[in-house]
Amino acid sequence: MRAALEEAGERGVDQAEVAASCDTGLAATARLGDVENLEYTNDRGLWITVYKDSRKGSASTSDTQPESIREAVAKACTFADCTAQDKFSGLADADLMCTDAKDLDLDHPWEIEAAQAIDMAIACEAAGLEVDARITNSEGATVSTNRGVRAYGNSHGFVGSYAKSSHSVSCVVLASEAGEMQRDYYYSAARDAADLEDVEHIGVTAGRRAVSRLGAQKIKTTKAPVLFIPELARGFIGHAIGAASGGAQYRKASFLLDAVGEQVFPDFVNIEERPHIPKGMASAAYDAEGVGTWDRDIISGGVLREYVLSSYSARRLGLQTTANAGGAQNLLVPGTGGDLATLIGEMGTGFIVEELIGHGLNMVTGDYSRGAVGQWVENGEIKCPVHEVTIAGNLRDLYPRIAAIGDDQDLRGGIRCGSVLVEEMTIAGA
């Protein structure tokens, strides 16, 4: 990394930055009691970006020998000579560089052998297959582990690196009855393998979810409350963060254009960014530009307080970076109380969304339309599974209609959100 920065300096560039990574991993997949796939990964790479006369050039290499690094720097400089000037380009300001890179406890190697991973995958799948006689097939169970090192440095003198790990176990099974087939899955993911859920529990949960879909019915087009389970609620809420990103704002391609200070959600909704959670799936002491991260509230009292900015998008908007080059870090959506079962009772009659199909969001207008599968609820109790429906609305209208957020937060990703109940959506059916 230092060699690349020195080479760039010798070539007379104004600024330069280098990112490097090295990843190793193992993944074992079992299907119908036998090994279907066993993969070992060992990837590495180096990315160099130079800035010269407000022009930007980038190049990458997977060969870290000195000659290859020099060649990559030379290519980046050549590309910079060919690009248009952009007065907003360049490194983040030097005084924003992270000076206290906290240890966030992200690195927990899992010394698991291939044979052990295979045994775990087989046991996970077997537990799913044994849930019910109607589970007749499987797409397999997978046990995976990954460990990587990330490093970043720039011509401001900043150099930082950290190691991180991620591990997961997943299972997908199929259930059939009277000529109907349904599939579902479940997974667990964590930085530390000790925090993973039991493999048998993962398989059993996948099996139960698949069986619960049998007998799915179509319903007539209606308007009713819609309840998103946690793993889908985080995406529904997360669309607001995408609309608040600097890129969407300066391109004027956002349904929340110039919306800072506006009431977007009900006043009980908060979205908090907490980058320094130990073992967090999106924790980071600094962003992809070396800017130190800090706690902040993006949505407070339902009001959009700040955008999500890199240094480039911030300059385009006349603002300062929010240390979000590379994305947001650990978004928390506090619940209003109760778990999924509690919100089902509060909903009374409506639709629980358990799977979304397609990518029906217009980021410019906020129009939202997704194929959905789930359960129909009447009088606070699940009546029957439902399929072949579409849920629709406009997010600027739907967000204020959020009636409750559960405290059953899903911790497996970068957005920690519980179940979300929307008081009314259009449900297009038969």
Per-residue three-class SS string for 153-219: EECCCCEEEEEEEEEEEEEEEEEEECCEEEEEEEEEEECCHHHCCCHHHHHHHHHHHHHHCCCCECC
Q: How far, in Å, CA of 372 to CA of 290, rounded?
A: 40
In this structure, the answer to whether residues 198 and 276 fall within a common structural domain is no
Whether residues 180 and 240 fall in one domain: no
**How sure is the predictor about 2, in pLDDT bands with cuts at 50, 70 and 90?**
confident
Which residues are registered as beta bridge partners of 367? 394
Mean pLDDT, rounded, for 273-287:
97
- Residue 135, φ and ψ in degrees, nearest 5: -85, 110
Q: Are residues 236 and 114 in the same domain?
A: no
Claim to verify: residue 150 and residue 227 sit in the same structural domain:
no
Spatial neighbors of 213 by CB under 8 A, at least 6 apart, are 175, 182, 183, 184, 354, 373, 385, 387
Q: What's the domain range around 231?
A: 216-430
- Which residues, 6 or more positions from 327, have their beta carbon under 8 angstroms from its beta carbon? 282, 308, 414
Chosen domain end from 177, 192, 212: 212
Q: Do 241 and 109 fall within a single domain?
A: no
| Same domain for 149 and 96 | yes
Using CB atoms within 10 Å of the CB of residue 371, give its burial: 0 to 12 exposed, 13 to 18 middle, 19+ buried. middle
Same domain, 25 and 164: yes
CA distance 2 to 155: 9
Nearest-angstrom CA–CA distance, 100 and 61: 30
Q: How far is CA 386 from CA 202, 246, 345, 427, in A?
A: 23, 38, 18, 11
Cross-strand pairs, 53: none
DSSP state at residue 96: G
pLDDT one-digit tens code per residue, 191-215: 999 999 999 999 999 999 999 999 9
Q: Is the pLDDT of residue 337 over 90?
A: no
Are both 255 and 147 inside the same structural domain?
A: no
Q: Which amino acid is at 105?
A: D
Sheet containing strand 55-61, strands side by side? 55-61, 34-52, 15-31, 135-154, 159-177, 180-190
Q: What is the pLDDT of residue 220?
A: 94
Statement to judge: residues 331 and 424 lie in one domain: yes
- Counting the structural domains of the chain, the total is 2
202 & 278 share domain: no
Tokens 């992200």 locate to: 106
Return the pLDDT at 333. Answer: 98
What integer pLDDT is reported at residue 169 of this predicted model? 98
Q: pLDDT digit string (tens) for 347-386? A: 999 999 999 998 899 999 999 999 999 999 999 999 999 9
Which CATH number is 98's domain given? 3.30.2290.10
Phi-psi region of 302 (alpha: psi -120 to 50; beta: other; left: phi over 0): left
- The pLDDT > 70 percentage for the chain reads 100
Whether residue 106 is predicted with pLDDT greater than 90 in this model: the reply is yes
In this structure, what token pair is assigned to residue 248? 């969407």
Residues 201 and 294 in one domain: no
Give the whole-number percent of the chain exceeding pLDDT 90: 97
Q: How confident is the model at residue 394 (pLDDT cuts 50, 70, 90)?
A: very high
Q: Where does a domain end: 188, 212, 236?
A: 212
Average pLDDT of the residues of the chain? 96
CA-based nearest residue to 127, from 201, 183, 188: 201
DSSP-derived letter for residue 12 is T
Q: Across residues 96-103, what is the average pLDDT?
A: 94
Q: What's the sign of the alpha-carbon dihedral 355, 282, 153, 298?
A: positive
Is the pLDDT score of 121 beyond 80? yes
β-bridge partners, 160: 152
Residues 203 and 263 in one domain: no
In sequence order, what are the beta bridge partners of 426? 223, 392
- What's the pLDDT at 323? 98
Is the pLDDT at 429 greater than 80? The verdict is: yes
How far is residue 391's CA from residue 404's CA, in Å, rounded to a whole number? 18
Domain boundary among 212, 237, 256: 212
**Does residue 127 surpass a pLDDT of 80?**
yes
Say whether pLDDT at 1 is over 90: no
pLDDT tens for 303-331 read: 999 999 999 999 999 999 999 999 999 99
